[in-house]
Amino acid sequence: MKTYIKYISLPLLFVFLAFGMHKYYVSVTQIEYVKEQSSVQIITRIFIDDLENVLKKRYDENIILKYKDESGKVNDYIARYLKSKISIKINGEEQIINFIGKEYDVDIAICYLEIEGIKNIKTFEISNEVLFDMFKEQKNVIRTNINSKNKSFILIKENDKAMLNFNEKP
């Protein structure tokens, strides 16, 4: 009986370890239109190790993301990377995305972005290619709160754009 349990439990243990250690490649971007401030506020959450690896590959192989005593170049690299990978059109016009800053929470980099001077939103188009150049399994979850309507969708490499229409029908 013990031999039987050993033969069954060993493969089960291997399967558990193999699937339990599987790494997920995902970012989450939350977008909110704050009409009173005429701004679109964007918060993007990315795993620190994934972000660090892409910054090393693209800009500086010696860069290290850390809580204290971080290189002054880190914010510049993150801003440049995010601006090259996230694009937003509002009412058909390409928008300038401002990088506000970032903070770290355990193993997540939380990046703050903003688009200013937005008086109204009739259409909203986003392209998010964050980490698609690093991981073919990457998924970018987008959650929006625009004009008091909540929408969520998942962007993948083969489908990296989403369009929302807020035109009222008579």
Is residue 7, in this structure, part of any structural domain at all? Answer: no
Cα distances from 2 to residues 6, 8, 16, 82, 170, in angstroms, run 6, 10, 20, 55, 73
Say how many domains are in the chain: 1
Q: pLDDT tens digit string along 21-74?
A: 447 789 999 999 999 999 999 999 999 999 999 999 999 888 888 777 777 788
Q: Which domain holds residue 157?
A: 23-165
Contacts of 160 by beta carbon, 8 Å cutoff, 6+ apart = 127, 128, 129, 132, 140
In a domain, 124, yes or no: yes
φ, ψ of residue 66 to 5 degrees: the values are -150, 160
1-10, 17-26, 87-96 — most confident range: 87-96
Taking only the tens place, the pLDDT of each residue in 99-140 is: 999 999 988 999 999 999 999 999 999 999 999 988 889 999
Asked if residue 15 belongs to a domain, the reply is no
